[in-house]
């Protein structure tokens, strides 16, 4: 399994915290968000981690280089940094930036989520279909991605603006190995859409395709914390400082 870590965002909702650095490098409990995510990814024993940077790319590249040299949890991991120069156009554009490097099933992670280590056992197994991980044990605010499930557990709708919902998306989606078609010496990956969106107007209409793909919603209750707003970052930091996660890998 590969891991695709979306770390290209500006973090504009974090205000002054991202005045000089990208969201991926915001510190929570003494550690940048990117390294919280990478240490969680390491627990999955992936074949490769694809980190997609964008805003503040040189800073992210430098931090990643330094972190790999000093963080034992990242030792031996195959990590590749990819630049999304159109980072203002949204997360799907970042995913398409990683697309040429994806060759097997992968777990898609948002850099602004901090996950409990125990969640790794829930999300590590291979999936047969696109699987969005959700939780049902927290109150959801205006900034949270909400999910309405069908009676069979599949995703009916997903959006921050939903008024009817029964769970929240935790920023993690598992995707099965892409189907391949032989074209000469290299396979062509057959994704739901062959054309990469290049503008914001192209990005938003893609969301309805999630339900068309019969996305499954799988619970990852008590997954962790988000750091998308200053108040949420502070809450995450307080929780981590009060009851730190274990640091050794299983």
pLDDT tens-digit series, residues 143-180: 888 989 888 888 888 888 999 998 888 888 998 886 54
Nearest-angstrom CA–CA distance, 239 and 241? 6
- Which sign does the torsion angle of CA 178, 110, 156, 97 carry? negative
pLDDT category at 219 given cuts 50, 70, 90 is low
The answer to whether the predicted template modeling score (pTM) of the entire model surpasses 0.95 is no
- Is-contact 245 117, C-beta < 8 A? yes
> Tens digits of per-residue pLDDT, 103-130?
999 999 999 888 888 888 888 988 888 8
Predicted pLDDT at 218? 63
* Domains contained in the chain, CATH given: 2-130+171-199+224-242 (3.90.550.10)
Q: Closest by alpha carbon to 108, among 133, 88, 75?
A: 133
Residue 196 pLDDT exceeds 80: no
Predicted pLDDT at 121? 87
Average pLDDT of the chain, as a whole number: 76
């Amino acid at each position: 399994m590969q891991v695709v870590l979306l770390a290209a965002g500006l973090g504009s909702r974090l205000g002054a915290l991202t005045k000089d650095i990208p969201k991926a490098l915001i510190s929570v409990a003494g550690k940048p968000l990117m390294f919280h995510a990478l240490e969680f990814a390491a627990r999955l024993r992936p074949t490769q981690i694809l980190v997609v940077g964008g805003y503040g790319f040189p800073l992210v590249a430098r931090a990643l280089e330094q972190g790999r040299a000093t963080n034992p949890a990242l030792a031996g991991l195959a990590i590749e940094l990819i630049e999304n120069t159109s980072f203002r156009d949204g997360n799907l554009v970042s995913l398409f930036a990683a697309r040429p490097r994806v060759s097997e099933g992968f777990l898609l992670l948002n850099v602004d989520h901090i996950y409990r280590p125990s969640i790794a056992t829930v999300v590590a197994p291979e999936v047969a279909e696109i699987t969005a991980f959700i939780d049902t044990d927290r109150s959801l605010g205006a900034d949270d991605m909400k999910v309405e499930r069908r009676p069979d557990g599949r995703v009916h709708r997903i959006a921050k603006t939903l008024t009817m919902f029964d769970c929240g998306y935790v920023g993690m989606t598992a995707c099965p190995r892409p189907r391949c078609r032989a074209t000469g010496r290299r396979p062509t990956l057959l994704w739901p859409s062959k054309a990469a969106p290049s503008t914001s107007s192209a990005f938003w209409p893609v969301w309805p395709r999630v339900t068309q793909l019969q996305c499954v919603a799988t619970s990852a209750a008590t997954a962790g914390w988000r750091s998308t707003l200053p108040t949420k970052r502070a809450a995450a930091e307080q929780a981590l400082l009060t009851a730190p996660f274990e640091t050794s890998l299983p």
